[in-house]
Amino acid sequence: MISIFGLKNCSTCVKAQQWLSTHGLSFTFYDVRQTALSAEQLRQWAEQLGWDRLLNKRSQTWRGLSDEQKSLTDTQDLIKLVQSYPSLMKRPLLVYQQTILLGFNEIEYTQLLKQ
C-alpha cells in the first residue's frame, strides 16, 4: 500500500499523484490539513528522516512563526508544532512498506516502486 501525505493544492504533490496514476499504481492521498497527523507518525518520520529534512524551513508558514517556535528542538514540541501547522512538513511524503520518500523525484519513485 502506497500512502502520500501532502496538500491537495501543492503542485509537487499533484505531480507525484499523476506519476503514480500514470504508472498504474494505486495509492491513498492524505491532505495533512484535513487528516490530522498522529504524534506517532510524526515521531517515526522524524526518527527516519530527521527534523531538518522533515520541516520546510523555506515555507511561508515557517517565516510566519515566532523566533521561539523556530528554535524548538524537543521532539514533543516539534510534533505539536507540525500538528498545529501541517504545512510546515515538506511534501509530498510517500510511505511504501518501511520506506519514506520526501519530495518528488521520478528516479527515486521508480527505484522504490520497481517501475
Of residues 2, 3, 10, 25, which has the active-site annotation? 10
Q: Using the 8-state DSSP alphabet, how is residue 86 labeled?
A: G
The answer to whether 113 touches 2, Cβ cutoff 8 Å, is yes
Q: Which residue type, as a one-letter code, is found at position 105?
A: N
Active site residue 10: yes
Residue 89 is classified by DSSP as B
From 112, 59, 54, select the one nearest 79 (Cα to Cα).
54
Could you list the active site residues?
10
